[in-house]
């Protein structure tokens, strides 16, 4: 499955547009990370625990988007965009969405 935020892939042709696909997750951190974050808040700097959390969440959202695309018979997702929102205290929702297409060689 090709995933890209471009509108077209050089050297390939879009044979069919199959619609919007999305993948989303809502993730919360656990207490251990939060205590460290509270301390880090005094001296500042990167919160590695949260960075990992967001990376995993994003990867999962992308995986779900790919699963949706596969289920409708697409072989590529173009024009991918992301939306991230802080939902509750310590929880974030990641949304990945894009256009599922069938690509073929011209």
Partner 1 sequence: MDAFVELAILVALLATGFFVGSAIERRHYASIRAREARYADVLAFGFRFPADRVTPQRAFLVTGTVVVSADYFKSFVAGLRNLFGGRLRAYETLLERARREALLRLKEDARRRGARMVVCVRFETTSITAGWAPSIEVFAYGTALIPERADRAA
> Which candidate, 53, 46, 58, places its Cα nearest to that of 97?
58
Contacts of 54 (CB under 8 A, 6+ apart): 27, 84, 92, 94
> Which candidate, 100, 85, 103, places its Cα nearest to that of 19?
100
**Of residues 15, 51, 67, 72, which one binds partner 1 by CB under 8 A?**
51
**Of residues 6, 15, 16, 72, which one binds partner 1 by CB under 8 A?**
6
> Which candidate, 84, 62, 66, places its Cα nearest to that of 75?
66
**Of residues 23, 58, 74, 97, which one binds partner 1 by CB under 8 A?**
58
Q: For residues 56 and 73, which CB has a smaller minimum distance to partner 1 in the complex?
A: 56
Q: Which residues bind partner 1 (CB under 8 A)?
A: 2-12, 29, 34, 37-38, 40-47, 50-51, 53-55, 58, 62, 80-86, 89-90, 92, 105
């Amino acid at each position: 499955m090709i995933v890209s935020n471009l509108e077209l892939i050089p050297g390939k042709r879009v044979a069919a547009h199959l619609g919007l696909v999305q993948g989303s997750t809502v993730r919360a951190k656990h207490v251990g990370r939060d205590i460290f974050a509270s301390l880090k808040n005094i001296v500042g700097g990167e919160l590695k625990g949260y960075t990992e959390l967001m990376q995993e969440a994003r990867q999962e959202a992308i995986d779900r988007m790919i699963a949706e695309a596969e289920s409708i018979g697409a072989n590529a997702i173009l024009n991918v965009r992301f939306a991230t929102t802080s939902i509750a205290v310590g929880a974030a929702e990641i949304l990945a969405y894009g256009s599922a297409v069938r690509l073929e060689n011209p």
